Amino acid sequence: MLRWLILIPFALGLAILSGVVALMVFTTLIPDMGTALVGAVLTARLVVGPVSVGPAVLDVQSLLLASTAVVVGVQALLFAVLSRTYAAGRGMLPPSGRLHTVDHPQALERGAGVGALLIAAGVVGVLVSVTRWAGDDFGPLDASQSLRLAIPSALALSLYLRDKVALTTDERDAVRAAAAAA
């Protein structure tokens, strides 16, 4: 009887951990998608030019912050999805039909296609920026205009790297192996 009493704190800790994981996954998924979406819409609008909102003018500083919101939102979203997949694999949460697409065999191919588009857009943007700078004999640049192309290019390249890291076979295999070991 005394031996079983020793396991009570362990069982209680596992129950609390399961609750924390469930709460973390469900409370971060929607705000993360919102952050990424609002950042993407604002980035797309600010690439065209400054936006006046009452007396305030949103310019390249806002473009930089909006693109940062996209990166943070996408990273947090991928963390939430992978955490949910891991927790379901460990039995801490019930399996989800919506997140089954992460383990789908075509997920890697789709991720590679999105990654190829992102790196192509980023590299083209960098090349166009350098070509414009060369057209000015590598002199001083107008920050407002040059950053409108450089920031989205950097955003595409950073999302490509995150996409590449998140959708590798090794990471999915590690999640499956950890779930199988439980």
Find the helix packing angle between 169-181 and 60-90, rounded to 10°. 30
Q: What is the pLDDT of residue 19?
A: 60
| Residues contacting 34, CB < 8 A, separation 6+ | 73
- Over the stretch 86-128, which tens digit does the pLDDT of each residue have? 777 777 777 766 665 555 666 667 777 888 898 999 999 999 9
Residue 27 Cα to chain centre, angstroms = 16
Q: What is the pLDDT of residue 151?
A: 93
| Residues contacting 179, CB < 8 A, separation 6+ | 86, 88, 89, 90
Q: What is the pLDDT of residue 111?
A: 74
Q: What is the pLDDT of residue 44?
A: 93
| Residues contacting 171, CB < 8 A, separation 6+ | 82, 165
pLDDT tops 70 at residue 2: no
The answer to whether 111 and 163 have CB atoms below 8 angstroms apart is: yes
pLDDT tops 70 at residue 1: no
- Over the stretch 27-76, which tens digit does the pLDDT of each residue have? 667 788 888 899 999 999 999 999 998 888 888 999 999 999 999 888 88
The secondary element (H helix, E strand) that includes residue 57 is strand 56-58
Q: Is the pTM of this model over 0.75?
A: no
For residue 182, the 8-state DSSP code is -
- Give DSSP secondary structure letters for 111-146: HHHHHHHHHHHHHHHHHHHHHHHHHTTT----HHHH
By CB atoms closer than 10 A (0-12, 13-18, 19+), residue 96 is middle
Better-scored residue on pLDDT, 129 or 32: 129
Q: What is the pLDDT of residue 70?
A: 93
- Over the stretch 152-174, which tens digit does the pLDDT of each residue have? 999 998 888 765 555 555 555 65
The secondary element (H helix, E strand) that includes residue 53 is strand 51-53
pLDDT tops 80 at residue 4: no
Degrees, nearest 5: CA angle 81-86-90: 150
Backbone angles phi, psi at 50, to 5 degrees: -65, 155
Question: In angstroms, rounded to a whole number, what is the distance separating the alpha carbons of residues 97 and 136?
Answer: 55
